[in-house]
């Protein structure tokens, strides 16, 4: 199954300057994303997992250029997004959309659902008449499982799950190729989560969408993703086909992360020996060399001195760890 590369990132890096202390005299840099090289293939779901502060959300925003990278490039179908003019980029946005985490915050409370879903259509002047827009909105609402009768209601009249359906309908309005899903189900109830996950899966099959699925929940990522990218403190530490990564995690961090997920079955209770100790280091002042070494039981001197690079250990499987770098 060799398919076309839709998005490629080259040394993508984002640093946020922060100020602290009185009069902001202590300038520091948050290294949100550091040197990320990724290929996203047409029609696949790339899962991005990691804990808070690992830069996964920033990465998503960099890919569709909601944020400008400090360094590096993003190629969408071979075109460099960084070299585009404001107008070109605006029109490029038809191809790439985003579904946000919080369905309460990502919908303007003062607009009716019809206007929210039609906004991308109007912005890019897809249809000539308002009637056509309304028809399309109706179609989208039906597709996403919201009754079209509710078109003239406000977001606050809906529950969280329905609002997330509205966000998805809105993201689909322009028939995009790529959708970035930034924790789309983590604000939802368990019984609603599965509805939304199934909806995302069905839509992908029907419309041939490409997803970048960002989540801290490893089980959700496993369900939806074809490939998984594990991030720690702004860096990719492991990338590979979902099944392989979950069955045989190579990077120590991936291993511990998978161990830590509480499994909904009391037969698999953990004991302490598999547990990762310590706290997540601050992205303002990450440890030298390998960022993970302060928590890693296998750390050696080399890990403190040298930054591990991503190595291909088997076809389609890359790991950034000195243990696998002969």
67-96 residues in contact with another protein (CB under 8 A) are 90-91, 93-94
Strands of the sheet with 79-80, listed across from one edge = 26-41, 5-20, 71-76, 79-80
* Distance from the first to the final alpha carbon of the chain: 30
273 near another protein, rule: CB under 8 A:
no
* One of 5, 66, 130, 284 touching another protein (CB under 8 A): 66
The stretch near another protein (CB under 8 A) out of 16-24, 129-137, 186-194, 284-292 is 186-194
23 near another protein, rule: CB under 8 A:
no
Nearer to another protein, 33 or 121 (CB): 121
Least Å from the CB of residue 225 to another protein: 11
Least Å from the CB of residue 18 to another protein: 15
* One of 246, 287, 324, 325 touching another protein (CB under 8 A): 246
- Four-CA torsion 169, 175, 181, 185, nearest 10 degrees: 30
153 near another protein, rule: CB under 8 A:
yes
120 near another protein, rule: CB under 8 A:
yes
Q: Report residue 182 as tokens.
A: 């930034």
> For the window 280-299, what string marks contact with another protein as x by the rule CB under 8 A?
x-------------------
Do the beta carbons of residue 284 and residue 18 sit within 8 Å?
yes
Closest listed residue to residue 180, CA positions, set 63, 102, 32, 271: 63
149 near another protein, rule: CB under 8 A:
yes
191 near another protein, rule: CB under 8 A:
yes
Q: What is the 3-state secondary structure (H, E, C) of 88-132?
A: HHHHHHHHEEEECCCCCCCCCCCCCHHHHHHHHHHHCCCCCCHHH
* One of 15, 39, 75, 111 touching another protein (CB under 8 A): 111
Closest listed residue to residue 94, CA positions, set 109, 113, 76, 106: 76
What span, in angstroms and rounded, lies between the C-alpha atoms of 323 and 207? 41
Nearer to another protein, 35 or 218 (CB): 218
Angle formed at CA 309 by CA 214 and CA 245, multiple of 5 degrees = 45
Q: Report residue 265 as tokens.
A: 């079955």
Nearer to another protein, 6 or 245 (CB): 245
Nearer to another protein, 150 or 324 (CB): 150
What span, in angstroms and rounded, lies between the C-alpha atoms of 245 and 230? 9
* One of 114, 136, 177, 222 touching another protein (CB under 8 A): 222
The stretch near another protein (CB under 8 A) out of 1-9, 33-41, 107-115, 310-318 is 107-115
Nearer to another protein, 10 or 65 (CB): 65
Residues 6+ apart with CB under 8 A from 71: 11, 12, 13
The stretch near another protein (CB under 8 A) out of 4-12, 37-45, 117-125, 298-306 is 117-125
150 near another protein, rule: CB under 8 A:
yes
Closest listed residue to residue 174, CA positions, set 114, 108, 97, 101: 97
What span, in angstroms and rounded, lies between the C-alpha atoms of 41 and 221? 17
* One of 5, 105, 284, 304 touching another protein (CB under 8 A): 105
* One of 9, 34, 162, 254 touching another protein (CB under 8 A): 162
Nearer to another protein, 35 or 172 (CB): 172
């Amino acid at each position: 199954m060799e398919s076309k590369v839709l998005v490629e990132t080259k040394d993508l890096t984002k640093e946020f300057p922060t100020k602290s202390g009185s009069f902001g005299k202590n300038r520091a840099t948050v290294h949100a994303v550091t040197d990320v090289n990724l290929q996203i293939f047409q029609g696949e779901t790339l899962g991005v997992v990691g804990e808070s502060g690992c830069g996964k959300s920033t990465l998503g925003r960099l890919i569709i250029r909601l944020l400008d990278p400090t360094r590096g490039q993003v190629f969408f179908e071979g075109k460099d997004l960084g070299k585009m003019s404001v107008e070109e980029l605006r029109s490029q946005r038809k191809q790439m959309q985003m579904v946000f985490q919080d369905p309460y915050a990502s919908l303007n409370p003062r607009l009716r659902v019809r206007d929210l879903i039609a906004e991308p259509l109007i912005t890019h002047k897809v249809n000539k008449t308002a009637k056509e827009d309304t028809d399309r909105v109706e179609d989208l609402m039906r597709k996403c499982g919201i009754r079209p009768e509710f078109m003239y209601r406000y977001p606050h009249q809906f529950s969280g799950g329905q609002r997330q359906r509205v966000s998805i309908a809105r993201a689909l309005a322009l028939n995009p190729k790529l959708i970035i899903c930034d924790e789309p189900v983590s604000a939802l109830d368990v019984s609603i989560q599965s509805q939304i996950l199934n909806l995302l899966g069905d839509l992908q099959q029907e419309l041939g969408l490409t997803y970048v699925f960002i989540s801290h929940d490893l089980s959700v990522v496993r369900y939806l993703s074809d490939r998984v990218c594990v991030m720690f403190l702004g860096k990719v530490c492991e990338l590979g086909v979902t099944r392989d990564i979950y069955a045989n995690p190579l990077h120590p961090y991936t291993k511990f992360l998978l161990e830590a997920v509480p499994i909904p079955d009391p037969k698999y209770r953990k004991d302490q020996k598999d547990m990762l100790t310590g706290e997540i280091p601050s992205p303002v002042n990450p440890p030298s060399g390998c960022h993970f070494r302060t928590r890693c039981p296998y750390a050696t001197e080399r890990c403190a001195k040298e930054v591990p690079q991503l190595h291909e250990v088997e076809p389609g499987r890359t790991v950034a760890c000195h243990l696998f770098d002969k």
